[in-house]
Amino acid sequence: FCSMPDKANLCSNQSSVNPSAVPYKRSSNISSLETLQLDGYFSFDHIDYAAKDFGNRYHFLPLAVLHPKSVSDISNTIKHIFKMGSTSKLTVAARGHSHSLQGQAQAHQGIVINMESLQGPEMQIHTGELPYVDASGGDLWINILHETLKYGLAPKSWTDYLHLTVGGTLSNAGISGQAFKHGPQINNIYQLEVVTGKGEVVTCTEKQNAELFYGVLGGLGQFGIITRARISLEPAPKMVKWIRVLYDEFSKFSSDQERLISSKDSFDYIEGLVIINRTGLLNNWRSSFNPKDPLQASRFISEGKTLYCLEIAKYFSPDESDIMNQKTESLLSELSYISSTLFLSEVSYVEFLDRVHLSEINLRSKGLWEIPHPWMNLLIPRTKIIEFAQEVFGNILTGNSNGPILIYPVNKSKYSHTRNKTINFPSIFEYYIIKLIFPSHCRWNNRTSLITPDEETFYQVAFLSSAMPSSTGRDGLFHILAQNQRILDFCSKAGLGAKQYMPHYSTQEEWQAHFGLQWEVFVKRKSTYDPMAILAPGQRIFRRKY
């Protein structure tokens, strides 16, 4: 197990080990890889880019980058390393779009597989009653969207940003504002093709090789490389009514969110934002939205308070806009937001889903995209969210925030409990019966490797901070990391039962605590599918065996 103290790896552009210090092993590894018959090829030079990711904090230089053209390129490479056994220390990391935060898609002196160069069969879209698309593990979600739209179809569950690969998000979960309705992306997969840590190519579904199927979903790349995924589709809407409203009380805000995710005929997308940065407030959160009542909106003064912005969307086709507007108004009439802060917008489905890309273009133009991103994602049980909000937004983060803070609840099943007494829900007993008889009512399948809090409803809270390079102030990396740590310490001291999403730990004890009762299953899956611990070393869960 490899433990890396944070400070030693911060903001370094160099690999932490000088490759020339191991010349013999390096050259013997290179020559052994050069003997492989491949459709694609290896690069051994100019591979510094593979030691970089979106987090921009961890930099591990690999020995080689594989640009596979076929699944057998991946399989042959892993088989070769597996057969070398103890004579090789090589590890293998699949690199999707490298939007990891702490080097998870890197392999120190190992092999990085550039998944985007994988050329499998073309993306195939199947129409019919249960439509799906067969896509490569290296396909970007934005490309899947454009291809499936040609058939009037689209995936159901998304991430907020679509320039990520299928394999990359399925290794985590893929959670966004549709997850309350459809579950995360990992719950919308019918079939996977996976190359295991022994180099075997295995097709798996919930019935065939089910242990591998569930293991890989949310499995942090530990059990196999996803080379193909069958993703469930639905008829794609054309337009989106996109709405933002503000609250100045967290309890009202979260109560409305919980009401909305639990109501049968609700919005299609539900998220939320915490607005701590008071300066520029009215310019930022509502830009590209129109106030419902401009006069009232102009009178709204935030008074320097922390505000909570509910973000919701309703999909529609242009010929049904009247019905959609009625439905939307009726849903809004039940909410307790500050009435002068209703802001609306109508955009195409593609514009809505690809919204973060616009921010990317903007930030890139200012040189603010490729800077350190000390992001932290937490899953907080519903019954603890008020306690969490009081301490974190009322005490720890009272000054400026260094980036958006997202917060929204999701239900594990279609039936669940809520603080709102106005809606009738089955008892917990009924819920378990439903789960037993109708497993399809469970949106968050608990056989996957994803770890969530024990409660039926939990909040995804994402602190999406950017750190100003070389700043030692409140917008600098060390300050933000210290703030993140304060939040983690609070969660643990207060016994909130929080879980990290896209987890990052430095010791195996912490990993064990993260997985809890699932740790044994995780370890067993590892010894079955990747017994030499060759895969995804950047997650730093297991040590390479040799």
Supply the residues annotated as catalytic: 99, 160, 271
Stretch of residues binding ligand FAD (CB under 6 A), selected from 68-76, 170-178, 238-246, 278-286: 170-178
Does 171 bind ligand FAD (CB under 6 A)? Our answer is yes
Rounded-to-integer distance, Cα 242 and Cα 344, Å: 6
Q: Which of 233, 389, 538, 540 forms a contact with ligand FAD (CB under 6 A)? A: 538
Q: Which of 226, 246, 281, 407 is close enough to bind ligand FAD by CB under 6 A?
A: 226
Q: How far is the CB of 70 from ligand FAD (least distance, A)?
A: 14
**Contact residue for ligand FAD among 176, 209, 416, 445 (CB under 6 A):** 176
* Helix%, strand%, coil% for the chain, nearest 5: 35, 20, 45
Instruction: Report the residue from 221, 372, 409, 476 that binds ligand FAD according to the rule CB under 6 A.
Output: 221
93 binds ligand FAD (CB under 6 A): yes
Q: Identify whether the C-beta of residue 104 lies closer than 8 Å to the C-beta of residue 53.
A: yes
Q: Give residue number: closest CB to ligand FAD.
A: 167
- Characterise 306 by phi-psi region: left (phi > 0), alpha (psi -120 to 50), beta (else): beta
Could you say which of 81, 111, 175, 541 contacts ligand FAD (CB under 6 A)? 175
What residues from 107 to 126 belong to the interface with ligand FAD (CB under 6 A)? 115
Q: Hey, which residues between 391 and 450 contact ligand FAD (CB under 6 A)?
A: none
Beta strands in 428-502, from DSSP E residues, in sequence order: 457-463, 499-501
Please, which contacts does 74-77 make with residues 24 or more away whose CB atoms are closer than 8 Å?
Answer: 74/113, 74/118, 74/195, 74/225, 74/227, 75/195, 75/199, 75/200, 75/201, 76/36, 76/37, 76/38, 76/199, 77/33, 77/36, 77/38, 77/111, 77/113, 77/199
Per-residue binding letters, 127-166, with ligand FAD (x by CB under 6 A):
----------x---------------------xxx--xx-
C-alpha dihedral sign at 154, 158, 163, 168: negative
Residue for token pair 């009215």: 282
The binder of ligand FAD chosen from 173, 324, 331, 461 (CB under 6 A): 173
H helix count then E strand count, the chain: 18, 19
169 binds ligand FAD (CB under 6 A): yes
- Is 188 one of the binding residues for ligand FAD (CB under 6 A)? no
Per DSSP bridges, beta strands 239-247 and 307-316 are antiparallel
User: Is 459 a residue that touches ligand FAD (CB under 6 A)?
Assistant: no
Closest to ligand FAD by CB, 110 vs 297, is 110
Q: Determine if 91 is a binding residue for ligand FAD (CB under 6 A).
A: no
d(CA 339, CA 352): 24
Place of tokens 């005929």: 265
Between residue 355 and residue 384, which ones bind ligand FAD under the rule CB under 6 A?
A: 356
Where do the DSSP E strands lie in 197-303?
201-205, 224-235, 239-247, 269-275, 290-291
If one asks whether residue 458 binds ligand FAD (CB under 6 A), the answer comes out as: no
Contact residues toward ligand FAD (CB under 6 A) are 53-54, 93-100, 104-105, 115, 137, 159-161, 164-165, 167-169, 171-176, 220-221, 225-226, 356, 536, 538-539
